[in-house]
Amino acid sequence: MNKTPSDRIKRELTDLQAVAGNGLLHRRALLRGGAALAGAMTGYTLLPSALGQQLTDDAWSRVPGSTVPDYGSRSRFEKDVVRTLSNPKGEPRTQHARTPHHLINGTFTPNGLHFVISHAGDPDIEPDKHRLVIHGLVKQPLVFTLDTLARYPMVSRMAFVECGGNSAPLFSPQPIQASVQALHGLVSCSEWTGVPLSTLLDEAGIDPKAKWLIAEGGDSPHLSRSVPLSKAMDDAMIALYQNGERIMPGNGYPMRLLLPGWEGNMNTKWVRRIQLTEGPGMTFYESRTYAAILPGGKAYQFYFMQEVKSFITHPSPGLAMKGPGFYEISGIAYSGYGRIAKVMVSADGGKSWAQAALQEPVHSKAFTRFRAPWRWDGGPAVLQSRAWDEAGYAQPTRTQLVAARGETAQVPPVTAFPSQHYNAIVSWSVERGGEVKHVYA
Amino acid sequence: MFTRNPAGLAALLTFVLSAAMVFAQAPNLGKPVSPAEIAAWDINVLPDGSGLPPGSGTPADGARIYTAKCSACHGPEGKGGPSARLVGGEPVKNMSSEKTIAGFWPYSTTLFDYIRRAMPWQQPRSLTNEEVYALTAYILSQNQLIGERDAMNAQTLPKVRMPNRDGFIVRFPDRTP
């Protein structure tokens, strides 16, 4: 007897068992059944007359389309997919633009949506006049132009860049009701292409006394950060391209220092000078801004690593559920220590967990998209994700992190966060009507 | 095979070594640059005072410059305005504490370095080294970290010990979660 596709779906449905509480299914449901399986579980796409109307040719399919532009832009229907701005009039203070993680998908961030923090706006750098100087504890100080760098052997790699204060609104003693964009929008991921910094340092000739470098930007605050030479020689890059095109002005045009996995502020944008030194410079941003005060008053200095982290982007606050049935829980995970090894997802606030499917290939120090199939029964649920990296680190619970680092004294405005690393588990509560809220669980 | 044919091994090694050398070769397109050529950019000041330029400034000189160029943002007495407080403040206790110069900053040299590279906000790199020393002296004096008549220069500034100098735990390369 020939089995029909619907027989196969019925059999798979029978086989499918929840692997964790509140309707979390085995991740193989995504691999085998796909959309048909999802439809079967919600029960309405297989009905013969569900559409209730006859399809006709729409207006756009009965006339030729528009002229193809020389530089493409997205559909006019996507105009609301934008970054949110903390300082839209460019007043004399820092500007933040946050990535809308709940409105995009995949593993890298489109250049126009990559997060930006500029402490005094984006400089309008003429690429032909930009210079990169390497000096200090080197045998021969050197200067490079963009043209000369273009002739060097290049490398491409995926890498996330995350602000040291991303997700810090979760240090609030009460969960702030805001979108994943407002809470976690200061991280993005791109394919970066450029020249390994080690090539240029070797060319200048490193003095054995050199243990650090101080990188400086060509922006008006001439932002400077100290970087251990060991990182510079490991995987640091003078990045020239972002997702295939020249770096966006807000991300450092025409060149930036890329330190995969390390605090965003150190990835010096518009980099114009690198001085090799014996010790760190104790610059403004490392000795003050990104030093993290601990309970009792001592502060971490040189908190460089962006540790293992994940959060669910779909569903998330602002993306309401549309009735019971099948959903794909999806989010991003990353670690400054290397590759993501595993992501577990819970629908019952951490009582039980199901292993999520990881989108291949899993790149080191880059976004990894995770997915878990879920049959929502329409009742209350608390969604969480927890990631492990290849170095063996696991995301802490919020209780663990807060015990070590403390909380803010009051509930701050969502944009007025302390510049402290937060990588604990994030919880979304799905209410009975389908609304998604930020909770601590 | 290798042990039976030493000549072959040598040839192979020669090939591998020359291949590695070719691979490691860089275009060497960086142009030598002299200290004089980069002097205007060479503005890093380290905690031991290296990088500090010649010159000197007193709190009294700094007060005049402060009123003209800084007070609009940082307040007439440096106690804060649209921009951060520069004078006063408590030792820090937790992540909500204000990170003031007197209460948090570990090194006095950072003050000179940051003013010179980034201030005033609308016109960075417009101050002379003398003016930066004077402003540094004024702010340190207003915070009672130096005397009212103490001049700041390349010798005196690195010796100013900040109250929170020992308030830090060096995290790198610690891997504790």
Report the residue from A92, A143, A298 with minimal CB separation from B31.
A143
Q: What is the pLDDT of residues A16-75, one digit of tens each?
A: 678 999 999 998 877 555 544 554 444 333 445 566 788 999 999 999 999 999 999 999
Give the DSSP letter of residue B107.
B
Buried b vs exposed e over B120-139: b needs ≥16 C-beta within 10 Å? bbeebeebebbbbbbbbbbb
**Torsion sign (Cα): A96, A102, A103, A104:** positive
Q: Is A288 in contact with B121 (Cβ distance < 8 A)?
A: no
Read out DSSP for A270-331? TEEEEEEESS----HIIIIIT-EEPTTS-EEE---B---EEEEEES-TT----SSEEEEEEE
Q: Nearest chain B residue to A212 by CA: give it.
A: B46
Question: Containing H/E element for A162?
Answer: strand A155-162
DSSP state for residue A212 in the 8-state scheme: E
Residue A1 reports pLDDT greater than 80: no
Q: Is residue A272 less than 8 Å (CB to CB) from chain B?
A: yes
Is B5 inside any structural domain?
no
pLDDT tens digits, A160-204: 999 999 999 999 999 999 999 999 999 999 999 999 999 999 999
Q: Which residue has tokens 């890498």?
A: A159
- Asked if residues A326 and A18 have their Cβ atoms less than 8 Å apart, the reply is no
Name residue B50's amino acid: S
B residues 156-175 lying closer than 8 A (beta carbon) to A? 167-173, 175
**Cβ atoms A307, A423 nearer than 8 A:** yes
Q: What is the pLDDT of residues A403-439, one digit of tens each?
A: 999 999 999 888 888 889 999 999 999 999 999 999 9
Q: How many CA atoms lie within 13 A of A194 on its CB side?
A: 30
CB A99 within 8 A of CB A179: no
* DSSP designation for A349: T
| Domain containing residue B89 | 44-159
Number of domains comprising chain B: 1
Residue B165: inside a domain: no
- Note the pLDDT of residue A29: 78
Element of type H or E holding A389: strand A381-389
Instruction: State the Cα–Cα distance between residues A403 and B83, nearest whole angstrom.
Output: 32
* Start-end of H helices in A100-241: 146-149, 180-184, 197-204, 229-234
Nearest-angstrom CA–CA distance, A99 and A168: 15
Q: For the ranges A32-46, A50-64, A210-224, A363-377, which has the lowest average pLDDT? A: A32-46
Q: Kind and range of the H or E element at B56?
A: strand B56-57
pLDDT tens figures, B122-150: 999 999 999 999 999 999 999 999 999 99
Note the pLDDT of residue A43.
37
Is B92 within a domain? yes
Interface test with B, best of A287, A421, A425 (most B CBs within 10 A): A287
Measured over the CA atoms of residue B79, residue B84, residue B88 and residue B93, the dihedral's sign is positive
| ipTM of predicted complex | 0.90
User: What are the φ/ψ torsions at residue A438 (nearest 5 degrees)?
Assistant: -85, 125
Q: Is residue B147 part of a domain?
A: yes
Q: Which domains does chain A have, with CATH numbers?
A: 127-300 (3.90.420.10), 309-439 (2.60.40.650)
B38: which chain A residues are within 8 Å (Cβ-Cβ)? 133, 135, 141, 143, 273
pLDDT tens, residue by residue, A75-86: 999 999 999 999
H or E stretch at A193: strand A187-196
Q: Any bridge partners for residue A191, and if so which?
A: A158
Q: Is A214 on the interface with B (CB under 8 A)?
A: yes
Question: Mean pLDDT across chain A, nearest whole number?
Answer: 93
What is the rounded CA–CA span in Å between residue A258 and residue A267?
5
Closest approach of B13 to chain A, Cα-based (Å): 24
Specify if B133 maps to a domain. yes
A335 part of contact set with chain B, CB < 8 Å: no
Best CA proximity match to A164, nearest among A313, A296, A266, A293: A266
**Among A140, A98, A138, A94, CA closest to A120:** A94
- The residue type found at A388 is W
pLDDT tier at A281, thresholds 50, 70, 90: very high
Contact (Cβ atoms closer than 8 angstroms) between residue A357 and residue A372: yes
Given CB atoms, is A94 within the 8 Å cutoff of chain B?
no
Chain B residue with CA closest to A277: the answer is B46
CATH number at residue B83: 1.10.760.10
Percent of chain A, pLDDT > 70? 92
pLDDT at B170: 93
Residue A402: which H helix or E strand, with range? helix A398-405
pLDDT confidence band for B15 (50 / 70 / 90): very low
Length of chain B (residues): 177
> Nearest Cβ partner of A291 from B38, B168, B172?
B168
Q: Residue A8 — very low, low, confident or very high, per pLDDT cuts 50/70/90? A: low
Please provide the DSSP assignment of B64-88 as one string.
HHHHHHTHHHH-TTSS-SSS---S-
Q: Do the beta carbons of residue A23 and residue A383 sit within 8 Å?
A: no
Q: Is A291 on the interface with B (CB under 8 A)?
A: yes
